[in-house]
């Protein structure tokens, strides 16, 4: 029975689009659970001080994961594992097992140090709400980066074997653990129960991949000298990438610290909107970049430069193809989305409007963030981990600096404040200062994308004309589709005048479907190449693709 389940979970996915759509399907399932999680949090706590504590508590563990646990990330491990496997598969497994032991020892020691220093660190990350309760929650959550980091190491093997099903189910279990903490542990343990729910989810995230890892045969042993040499190679690749990943966490850390001085619930509003925009980002950007990475690494290792470039170009076009319409429709339907997902219990209409406005600002950079993920992985596959670090440094600088400037402008200039509040329809809602943090984050993401795209096209010789034509077609079709969706909202009434969840769901569904169909129809009239490729990929998913090489199934000619 266990072996049958392992075999089903470990089934190999072939083709970039097939793998991307499989990842996207499970990402959608994971994000739906994440939305259930957020709805439960909103229902029970609203935009409150309690949720501010909960979200602030993640900043130190997430920073540890980004800076320490990610040093042995799958993106740095994959090139080394590919090289070891070409010599002998047993060497790769032996090396992974030794890496796992090193990780547990190192990460455990660092977490113990942070545990002791937590009372002094917490006032630095949330100076406006630092309490003993927050210190306790941070200490519990220190187990999270250990478990997720170990799971990330095992994910290197599952991705190398193209077992994307197994890789994709881990986030589902992670969110189930958090939901268990909200529903079962919080009533009996208080806010610390929320932390133990997170730890439970992280534990399941790790354990689901462990059987596949232990089933691999270890027929060779990596010597101590060779292990040290390969570990040095991994760290040489991963240190710049880890620094780049840490830049994003530093941005969040500083923005959350700033939000702790705003009205109670500001951190919750900011993080709710951030989590909502992470749904399309995960489904589109993460799915395509993760699906493309193993093949990009293999093509580069073989020296097949032309195929490498064509594979990148295909992934890039399809990220734009999906991200631009998604951005427009989310902006149009933002109030309906937030109200249906979060608008229950203690989550007020004012909180809904603020979260919807912040979501609109975040999602302006959806395409930019999605492409940035692919850019980073293309450079990692090529063995260049420094440039993504430079791009990320620009992101953190622009995000934090612009957020401070926007907050200052928001408070000192009544004209600017009134203009932004009128544009986002939150003029009569208190606590709108938090919107400037989302706008600053958006500016940083766009700046990173602009710089990264410039060097990306130059370094990899990406054809510009095909991308330019796609941008024109996708943006034009999306605007027309967005207008069609808005016409439904205008005809049926705004979200504020509809007082039942069922009617909001029906309204949003009707508007979204009309918007999608209109967008697809316009793209079809324009004879959009990406629409044809996506349709073909869906059709092929239900046909036998056995024996079709991964590198050639989805590269357009």
- Count the alpha carbons within 13 Å of 446 in the hemisphere toward its beta carbon: 12
To the nearest 5 percent, what fractions of the chain are helix, strand and coil?
85, 0, 15
**pLDDT > 60? residue 475:** yes
Structure tokens at 354: 């603020």
Distance in angstroms (rounded) separating the CA atoms of residues 437 and 423: 16
Report the percentage of the chain scoring pLDDT > 90: 30
- The larger pLDDT score, comparing residue 362 to residue 247, is at 362
- The larger pLDDT score, comparing residue 80 to residue 310, is at 310
Q: Which pLDDT does position 21 carry in this prediction?
A: 61
Ranges of H-type helices in 12-142: 16-45, 49-57, 59-67, 74-87, 89-125, 132-141
Q: Which pLDDT does position 95 carry in this prediction?
A: 76
**pLDDT > 70? residue 139:** yes
Structure tokens at 370: 């999605």
**pLDDT > 80? residue 347:** yes
**pLDDT > 50? residue 374:** yes
- Count the alpha carbons within 13 Å of 410 in the hemisphere toward its beta carbon: 20
Q: Which pLDDT does position 548 carry in this prediction?
A: 36
Cβ neighbours of residue 353 under 8 Å, at least 6 residues apart? 335, 425, 426, 429, 496
Is 325 within 8 Å of 343 (Cβ atoms)?
no
181, 184, 335: which is closest to 273 by C-alpha? 335
Mean pLDDT (whole number) for 126-143: 91
**pLDDT > 50? residue 553:** no
CA dist list (Å): 426 to 260, 277, 335, 340, 496: 21, 19, 11, 19, 12
Distance in angstroms (rounded) separating the CA atoms of residues 133 and 49: 12
- The larger pLDDT score, comparing residue 240 to residue 499, is at 240
Cβ neighbours of residue 181 under 8 Å, at least 6 residues apart? 193, 194, 195, 196, 197, 198, 200, 201
**pLDDT > 70? residue 543:** no
146, 147, 145, 156: which is closest to 77 by C-alpha? 156
- The larger pLDDT score, comparing residue 164 to residue 257, is at 257
Is 199 within 8 Å of 140 (Cβ atoms)?
yes
Distance in angstroms (rounded) separating the CA atoms of residues 520 and 302: 38
Is 9 within 8 Å of 169 (Cβ atoms)?
yes
Mean pLDDT (whole number) for 228-256: 77
Buried/exposed code over 407-435 (b: 16+ C-beta within 10 A; e: otherwise): beebeeeeeebeebbeebebeebebbbbb
Structure tokens at 197: 């729910």
Residue with tokens 């096209």: 457
* pLDDT tens sequence across 401-431: 999 999 999 989 999 899 998 998 888 888 8
Confidence of residue 1 (pLDDT cuts 50, 70, 90): very low
DSSP string for residues in 185-197: IHHHHTHHHHHHH
Mean pLDDT (whole number) for 150-163: 75
When mean pLDDT is compared over 7-11, 181-185, 292-296, the highest value belongs to 181-185
Ranges of H-type helices in 343-492: 349-363, 366-381, 386-412, 414-424, 435-460, 464-492
Buried/exposed code over 84-121 (b: 16+ C-beta within 10 A; e: otherwise): bbeeebbbbbbbbbbbbeebeebbeebbeebeeebeeb
Mean pLDDT (whole number) for 329-347: 86
Sort 67 into a burial class: Cβ within 10 Å, 0-12 / 13-18 / 19+: middle
Report the percentage of the chain scoring pLDDT > 70: 82
Element housing 227 (H / E): helix 224-259
Among the residue ranges 6-20, 200-214, 320-334, 373-387, the one predicted with the least confidence is 6-20
Q: Which pLDDT does position 11 carry in this prediction?
A: 47
- Average per-residue pLDDT in the chain? 81
* pLDDT tens sequence across 80-111: 777 776 666 667 777 778 888 888 999 999 99
- Count the alpha carbons within 13 Å of 527 in the hemisphere toward its beta carbon: 0
Q: Which pLDDT does position 87 carry in this prediction?
A: 65
Confidence of residue 556 (pLDDT cuts 50, 70, 90): very low
| C-beta atoms surrounding 35 within 10 Å | 18
Confidence of residue 8 (pLDDT cuts 50, 70, 90): very low
450, 520, 536: which is closest to 480 by C-alpha? 520
- CA 326 to centroid of chain Cα atoms: 15
**pLDDT > 80? residue 301:** no
* pLDDT tens sequence across 163-214: 666 667 888 889 999 999 999 999 999 899 999 999 999 999 898 888 777 7
**Helix, strand or coil, per DSSP, at residue 301:** helix
- CA 253 to centroid of chain Cα atoms: 16
């Amino acid at each position: 029975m266990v072996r049958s389940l392992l075999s089903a979970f470990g089934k190999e996915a072939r083709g970039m689009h097939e793998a991307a759509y499989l990842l996207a399907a499970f990402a959608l399932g994971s994000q739906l659970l994440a939305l259930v999680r957020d709805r439960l949090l909103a229902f029970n706590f609203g935009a409150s001080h309690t949720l501010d504590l909960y979200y602030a508590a993640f900043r130190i563990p997430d920073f540890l994961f980004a800076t320490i646990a990610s040093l042995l990330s799958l993106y740095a491990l994959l090139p080394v594992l590919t090289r070891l496997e070409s010599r002998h598969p047993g060497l790769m497994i032996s090396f992974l097992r030794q890496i796992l032991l090193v990780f547990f020892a190192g990460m455990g020691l660092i977490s113990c140090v942070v545990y002791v220093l937590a009372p002094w660190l917490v006032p630095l990350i949330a100076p406006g709400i630092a309490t003993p309760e927050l210190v306790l929650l941070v200490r519990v959550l220190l187990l999270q980066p250990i478990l997720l980091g170990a799971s990330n190491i095992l994910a290197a093997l599952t991705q190398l074997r193209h077992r994307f099903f197994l890789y994709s189910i881990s986030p589902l279990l992670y969110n189930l653990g958090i939901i268990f903490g909200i529903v079962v542990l919080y009533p009996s343990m208080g806010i610390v129960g929320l932390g133990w729910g997170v730890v439970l989810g992280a534990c399941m995230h790790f354990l689901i991949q462990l059987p596949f890892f232990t089933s691999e045969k270890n027929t060779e042993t990596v010597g101590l000298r060779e292990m040290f040499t390969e570990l040095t190679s991994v760290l040489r690749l991963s240190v710049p990438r880890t620094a780049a990943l840490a830049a994003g966490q530093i941005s969040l850390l500083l923005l959350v610290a700033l939000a702790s001085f705003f009205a109670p619930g500001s951190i919750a509003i900011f993080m709710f909107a951030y989590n909502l925009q992470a749904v399309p980002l995960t489904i589109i950007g993460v799915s395509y970049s993760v699906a493309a990475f193993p093949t990009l690494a293999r093509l580069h290792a073989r020296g097949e430069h032309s195929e490498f470039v064509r594979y990148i170009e295909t992934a890039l076009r399809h990220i734009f193809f999906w991200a631009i319409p998604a951005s427009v429709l989310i902006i149009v339907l933002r109030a309906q989305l937030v109200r249906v997902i979060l608008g229950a219990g203690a989550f007020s209409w004012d909180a809904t409007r603020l979260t919807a406005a912040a979501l609109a600002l975040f999602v302006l950079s959806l395409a930019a963030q999605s492409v940035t993920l692919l850019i980073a992985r293309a450079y990692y596959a090529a063995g260049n981990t420094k440039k993504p670090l430079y791009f990320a440094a620009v992101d953190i600088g622009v995000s934090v600096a612009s957020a401070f400037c926007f907050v200052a402008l928001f408070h000192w200039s009544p004209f600017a404040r009134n203009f932004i509040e009128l544009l986002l329809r939150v003029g009569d809602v208190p606590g709108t200062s938090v919107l400037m943090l989302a706008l600053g984050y958006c500016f940083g993401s766009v700046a990173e994308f602009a710089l990264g795209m410039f060097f990306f096209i130059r370094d990899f010789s990406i054809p510009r004309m095909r991308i330019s034509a796609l941008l024109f077609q996708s943006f034009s079709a999306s605007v027309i589709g967005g207008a069609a969706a808005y016409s439904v909202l205008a005809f049926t009434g705004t979200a504020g005048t509809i007082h039942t969840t069922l009617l909001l769901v029906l309204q949003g569904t009707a508007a979204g479907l009309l918007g999608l169909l209109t967008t697809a129809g316009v793209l079809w009239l324009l004879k959009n190449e990406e629409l044809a490729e996506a349709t073909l990929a869906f059709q092929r998913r239900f046909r036998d693709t056995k024996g079709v090489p991964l590198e050639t199934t989805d590269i357009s000619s």
